[in-house]
Amino acid sequence: MNRDDRVANYMLFAFSVISLVLLSLPLSGKVRSFRACVSYLLNPIPYYAGSATERIKDLPKNAARMISGDIELHEARRRLEEAQLVFEEVQTLREENSRLRLAAGLAPSGGRRLRWASILQREPMQWHRSLRVAAGAVDGVKINAPVLGLYDGRLGVVGRIIQVEERIATVLLLTDELSAVAARISQKWEGLTQGVGSARLKMNYLPVETEFEIGDEVRTSPTSAAFPAGIAIGTVSKLYESDPFLAFQSVELEPAVPASALREVLILEPITASTNAPKKPKFLPPAAPIIKKKVMKPVAVSTASIVVSSPSAPSSEGMLE
């Protein structure tokens, strides 16, 4: 073994002894603070558990305050995330409650069933004509079922079902040129609301002598064959000039429920003959007994056996024919 190797061994032995002596001596506050901070930076997870108080109770105040402050900040962030999740859940429940209250206040005739369905698809080339929803024949959706939407806290007319597949249905929007619904303006004058292929609607067949104002409400009429009465359609946004060659006037409407702002729709059961038919009672009252009257049969009498005698006539002329 050469001289350099012996010096290296001696130095290693000396440093080992010094290290053991230092480890056996009581640690100062600065050393413990430094060790605790390094331990917290490398592995902070054990401090987040319930043993954090035990780990920092023997540390100097400054180090304990720094570590406990960071632990409290981490806990505050965790609670903030939980509060955000709870807030979003509450908002969802509020929206659901609002939809249910509006649906319950609808009170459709004949006890028709209601079903919420999310919007799946809208084609750009048919933006104001139709959309597809996530409800189909397996969900009880039928052709011509009225479709409503919730916007700005109220229900309004969206359209009606024109095609039903197994789990998907197509809605013809009210803004389409083929759509029309009987409506009343200002709860008094009746007309026909029709789509024009754009974001607006048009109401025709209004009396010429009647004056309307911008902002007048238009709702479904009781004479509508598909929609319940009183559902919002829109408000008057423009008054057309009267045409002297027409016996009616028209107004432009702004839809109460813009289809482009919806995420889901409310589908009603369509009105059918069976929907409005009165329900038969489960138990029918017993029928009254039928009393048969005896009819006396006529007795045939031969005219040849009846003889009327007369003192002034011969006996042969007294026989009746």
| Terminal C-alpha separation, the chain | 175
d(CA 82, CA 165) in angstroms, rounded, equals 41
Confidence class for position 305, pLDDT limits 50, 70, 90: very low
Q: What percent of the chain has pLDDT over 90?
A: 35
Confidence class for position 215, pLDDT limits 50, 70, 90: very high
d(CA 195, CA 181) in angstroms, rounded, equals 9
pLDDT (mean) for 267-275: 71
**In angstroms, what is the C-alpha Rg of the chain?**
46
Higher pLDDT, 318 or 191: 191
Burial label, 139 (beta-carbon count in 10 A; 0-12, 13-18, 19+) = middle
Predicted TM-score (pTM) of this structure: 0.57
pLDDT tens digits, residue range 49-66? 555 555 666 566 666 677
- Packing angle between helix 29-42 and helix 61-106, nearest 10 degrees? 30
Share the mean pLDDT of the chain. Answer: 77
pLDDT tens digits, residue range 217-256? 999 999 998 898 999 999 999 998 877 778 899 999 999 9
What b/e sequence results for 255-291 when a residue is b if at least 16 CB atoms lie within 10 Å of its CB, and e otherwise? Answer: bbbbbeebebbbbbbbbeeeeeeeeeeeeeeeeeeee
